[in-house]
Amino acid sequence: MAMLEEFKKFAMRGNVVDLAVGVIIGGAFGRIVDSLVQDVIMPPIGKLFGGLDFANYYIPLNHQAYNLPLAEAKKAGAVLAYGNFLTILLNFILLAFVIFQMVRLINRLRGPAEAAAAKPAPTPEDILLLREIRDSLKNDKRDPKDAL
């Protein structure tokens, strides 16, 4: 029974719940970016490259015909699907850029007050040591040229 209580305490910690929410939102956001890339961005790029679906660009490795759709070419043998890879790569770049912009915006909204609060305050020992150094320098009446 103690282990069950300990697990419940662990699972209900803020970090675990925040992580779960982040994973769920990230999955949904990933599908939105997938749709953006595949349905909005890639069709004009495909049109620019001859009107074909960019995701269907491939190099046949088993002497398949070049004019087959990617799914049929894969059934006929191995293919190097560089168009699909480029689509997924563009999807990743867009997703990373959007997340970067979101984090940047959140950091700006937090403001400098939280950044200043994140700095640790000097401990009383540090302050005492700095005061001793200051007093020692004040009491030292030597000529600075003698130190050289």
pLDDT tens-place values along the chain, 148 residues long: 788 888 877 777 767 777 888 888 888 888 888 888 778 887 887 788 776 667 778 888 888 787 888 888 888 888 888 888 888 888 788 878 877 888 888 888 877 765 556 666 767 888 888 888 888 888 876 655 665 5
What pLDDT is stored for residue 86 in this prediction? 85
- Angle formed by the axes of helices 14-35 and 82-118, nearest 10°: 140
Q: What is the pTM of this model?
A: 0.52
81 with 70: CB under 8 angstroms?
yes
What pLDDT is stored for residue 70 in this prediction? 82
Give, as one character, the DSSP assignment of residue 144: G
Instruction: Measure the CA dihedral 17/21/24/30, to 10°.
Output: -140
What pLDDT is stored for residue 54 in this prediction? 72
What pLDDT is stored for residue 84 in this prediction? 83
Instruction: Measure the CA dihedral 125/126/132/138, to 10°.
Output: -160
Buried b (16+ CB within 10 A) or exposed e, 5-39: eeeeeeeeeeeeeeeeeeeeeeeeeeeebeebbbe
How far is it, in rounded angstroms, from Cα 46 to Cα 62? Answer: 25
Specify the DSSP element, H or E, that contains 44. helix 42-48
Both structure tokens of 66: 């070049």
What pLDDT is stored for residue 89 in this prediction? 85
